[in-house]
């Protein structure tokens, strides 16, 4: 399987990988909402929340250095966490502290899924 992954053209990997990552992240968002006892969004609404959150973080990564902020833990991690939480506050309709908890649970679920897929891809 690892050999198969190495032979995939990068364009195909992006074409197939980005929608798969958005779908997995939306699924993790639904599970995180259930974990935090918030009414979970429908799947396509969760996909829209994930896409808006991703676009917000990409623009944040682009504009913060232009505004003079240095690359550091706070600007790259904490600011991304806060902006993603604010997208969830607007998209799901919950409070800011619950949204931060939802983001942390979602990140943990996505990390577990990624680690599992990486473990399956490694033949050793």
For the segment 32-83, what is each residue's pLDDT rounded down to a tens digit? Answer: 999 999 999 999 999 999 999 999 988 888 887 787 777 777 777 888 889 9
Q: Name the residue with tokens 């994930």.
A: 50
Position 2 scores a pLDDT of 53
Range 104-112 contact pairs with CB under 8 angstroms and sequence separation of 24 or more: 105/28, 105/31, 105/32, 105/35, 105/36, 106/25, 106/28, 106/29, 106/31, 106/32, 109/28, 109/31, 109/32, 110/24, 110/25, 110/28
Position 13 scores a pLDDT of 76
- Is 117's pLDDT higher than 90? no
% pLDDT > 90, the chain: 55
Q: What is the mean pLDDT of the chain?
A: 86
């Amino acid at each position: 399987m690892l050999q198969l992954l190495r032979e995939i053209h990068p364009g195909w990997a992006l074409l197939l990988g980005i929608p798969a990552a958005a779908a997995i992240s939306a699924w993790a968002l639904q599970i995180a909402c259930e974990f935090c006892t918030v009414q979970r969004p429908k799947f396509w609404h969760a996909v829209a929340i994930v896409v808006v959150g991703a676009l917000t973080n990409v623009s944040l990564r682009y504009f913060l250095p232009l505004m003079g902020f240095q690359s550091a833990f706070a600007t790259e991690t904490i600011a991304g966490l806060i902006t993603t939480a604010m997208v969830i506050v607007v998209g799901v309709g919950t409070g800011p502290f619950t949204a931060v908890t939802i983001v942390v649970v979602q990140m943990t679920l996505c990390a577990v899924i990624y680690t599992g897929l990486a473990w399956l891809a490694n033949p050793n």
